[in-house]
Amino acid sequence: MAVVGAGFGGIGMGVALRRAGVERFAIFEEADDLGGVWRDNTYPNCNCDVPAHLYSFSFAPYRNRRIRYPGQPEILNYLRRVVLEQRLAPHLRLGTAIRDATYLENQGRWELMTQSGQAVLADAVVFAVGQLHRPNIPDVPGRAEFTGAAFHTARWDHTQHLSGRDVAVIGTGSSAAEILPSLAATAHHVRVFQRTPHWVLPKPATEFGPTMRTALRLPGAQRLYRHALYCGGDLVLAPIMRRGWSARPAEWAARRYLRRHIPDPALRAKLTPDYPIGGKRIILNNDYYPTLTQPNVELITAPITRLTREGLDTADGAHHHADVLIFATGFRASEFLAPIIVRGRDGQMLHERWRSGASAFHGLAVPGFPNAYLLAGPNTFNPAGSNPTMKEHQIDYIIQCLRWRDEIGATAIEVDNEAMQTHQRWMHKAIAETVWPEAGPSWYKHPSGAVTNPWPATGRRFDQRLRHPPAESFHAVPARVDTQSEHTCS
C-alpha cells in the first residue's frame, strides 16, 4: 500500500491500515516533516476554527482539556503524538515527493515515481494530499519589480521583522483575519486589500471555564461532548449553507456583529457582503473587525492594478507604500492532486478527466482508476463540521474496499460508471439547494463555476451514504494479459 501525504488524512489512513493488520505500507510525504497544513501554516496566531474535541481523531482525544480551539503548535504536536503512539514512524518516507502515478494494467498495481526518479510498486494507492496546501499567488502585473519582502501566509518568512514597517496584505479570508491583529500591533502601517468582503461571526472563547473543565473530566464526557459538537454542526451550521430562510438567523447575527464593531457607516458598507452568508467560508474571529478600526490599519477596496518597486497601485490612481507584502490569497484548492500526474486504465489522465472540475464517487474513487483512492477528495470538505471526522468516514470506507477486494480474490477493484453517475446526479441536486452556485468565485469552486470542494449536506448524511458496502458500487478489474512487454521497475 502507498499513502501519499502525511497530514491528518495520511496519518489516519496509516492508523487504520495497521489496525486492519496491514503492515506493508509506506506514507510518502514531500516535506521533511509530517503535519500537512498544520506544518505549513506557521503565521502568527494560526488557529483552528473547529473545536479540538471534534477536530481530532475519534480514537485520540487531545490531552489538554482546557483548550477549546487548538492553535497550530497544539495541532502539530497532537499529530506527532498520534504518529508516535500508533507506531507509524517506520512507515513514513519524509522528503519523498510523488510526482507521477501510473496504473499497470498487466499487474493490477500502481507504479509511483518519486521526484528523484525512484519507482515504487503498490497494490493500491491512497492520495491524501488535502485541498488547502498549494498557495495561490496571483499574477499581479509588476510582481518582479517589487523590491520588498513578499511571501504567502502558508510560507511565512520568520526572518522578516515587521516592527515599524509598512505592510500590505492582499486578501481578507480566514488567514488574513488571523494575522491582522498581530501585524497591527507591530507594524507601522497595515494596508489590507480587499476584493470581496467575507461574512464574519464571533468565535467562542478559546479556553473552557472551570465548570466545563470539571465536567469534561467525568467518565464518557469527552465522547459525549464530541458527539454534541458533531450534532450541533449538523443542526445549526449545515442549514446556513442551504438556500432560503434557514440562513437568516446567521445572517442577522453577522450583520448585528458588524454594526456593533464597525461604527463608521462607510467602512461598514465596504465590509458588508452582497452574497448570502455561507457562500464562502464564514470567518470566525473576534479580533478582525476591531483591528480594522485601529488608526494604523487601512482597508482598501479599489482593485490592485500593479505592483511597483515600493508598493501597490490601485485602480483609483492611488499608490500605497509597502516594505513587506503578504499574500493572504488562499490556495489552489480546486486543482486536486496537482502536480501529481495520475494515469489510469487505458491511458486515462485524471487531470484531463477533471478539466472542468473534479468529481469522485463519495469523493474517494474515480471510474477508470482501479485500486486508487482519495482522502479529502472532491466535495468532501465539510464547512459545517470537522474534516478529520469526514476523513475517518472515508478511511473506514477505503478499508472496506480493500477487504472486499481480498474477499472476492480480485487483483483490482474499480467503482462502476453507473454508481458514479448516480452519485453525481445526487451531488448536483444537493449543490443546487445550497448558496454556493449563486455566490461568487471562492476556493469552493473550480474556475468553470463548478462547486468542487465543499460537501453539500450534513456530516451525518455523509456517514450514511458511506455505509453502503463497496460491493454495491464497485466491480473487479482483472489484470490485462500483456504479451508485448513485461513492465519492470526497481
389 makes contact with ligand NAP (CB under 6 A) = no
**Residue count (the chain):** 490
d(CA 271, CA 266): 9
CB 99 within 8 A of CB 28: no
Nearer to ligand NAP, 312 or 413 (CB): 312
| Residues in 41-100 that interact with ligand NAP by CB under 6 A | 47-49
Q: Residue 413 and residue 236: Cα distance in Å, rounded?
A: 38
3-class SS of residue 54: coil
Residues near ligand NAP (CB under 6 A), total: 23
CB of 124 to ligand NAP, least distance (A): 29
CA separation, residue 171 to residues 42, 131, 442 (Å): 18, 19, 12
Using alpha carbons only, give the angle 337, 338, 340 rounded to the nearest 5 degrees. Answer: 80
CB of 455 to ligand NAP, least distance (A): 13
CA–CA separation, 297 and 229 (whole Å): 36
Residue 461, C-beta contacts closer than 8 angstroms, at least 6 positions apart: none
Neighbours of 379 (CB within 10 A): 26
Is 195 or 428 the residue whose CB approaches ligand NAP more closely? Answer: 195
Query: What minimum distance in Å lies between the beta carbon of 412 and ligand NAP?
Result: 35
* Residue 12 in the binding site for ligand NAP (CB under 6 A): no
And the C-alpha cell for 7? 497530514
Give the range of 3-11, 290-298, 435-443, 468-476 binding ligand NAP by CB under 6 A. Answer: 435-443
Q: Contact region for ligand NAP (CB under 6 A) — 115-123, 164-172, 453-461, 468-476?
A: 164-172
Q: Does 379 bind ligand NAP (CB under 6 A)?
A: no
User: Are 203 and 48 a contacting pair, CB within 8 Å?
Assistant: no
Q: How many CB atoms lie within 10 A of CB 286?
A: 17
The residue among 193 and 397 lying less far from ligand NAP, judged by its C-beta, is 193
One of 96, 172, 359, 473 touching ligand NAP (CB under 6 A):
172
- 183 lies in the site for ligand NAP, by CB under 6 A: no
* Minimum distance of ligand NAP from residue 138's CB (angstroms): 3
Query: Taking CB under 6 A as the criterion, which residues in 307-336 touch ligand NAP?
Result: 328-330
Q: Sheet of 149-152: strands edge to edge?
A: 149-152, 324-327, 166-170, 189-193, 297-300
388 part of the interface to ligand NAP, by CB under 6 A: no
Report the distance separating Cα 451 and Cα 154, nearest Å. 24
In DSSP notation, 301-325 reads: -SPEEEEETTEEEETTS-EEE-SEE
Min separation Cβ 274 and ligand NAP, Å: 12
Q: Give the 3-state secondary structure of residue 39.
A: helix
Site string for ligand NAP, 124-163 (x = CB under 6 A): --------x-----x--------------x----------
We find the least distance from the C-beta atom of residue 125 to ligand NAP, in angstroms, to be 26
Among positions 443, 455, 462, 474, the unique one binding ligand NAP when judged by CB under 6 A: 443
Q: Per CB under 6 A, which of residues 189..248 are in contact with ligand NAP?
A: 195-196
Query: Which of 33, 49 has the CB closer to ligand NAP?
Result: 49
Q: How many degrees, rounded to 5, is the angle at CA 471 between CA 469 and CA 473? A: 90
Binding residues (CB under 6 A) for ligand NAP: these are 47-49, 132, 138, 153, 170-176, 178, 195-196, 281, 328-330, 441-443
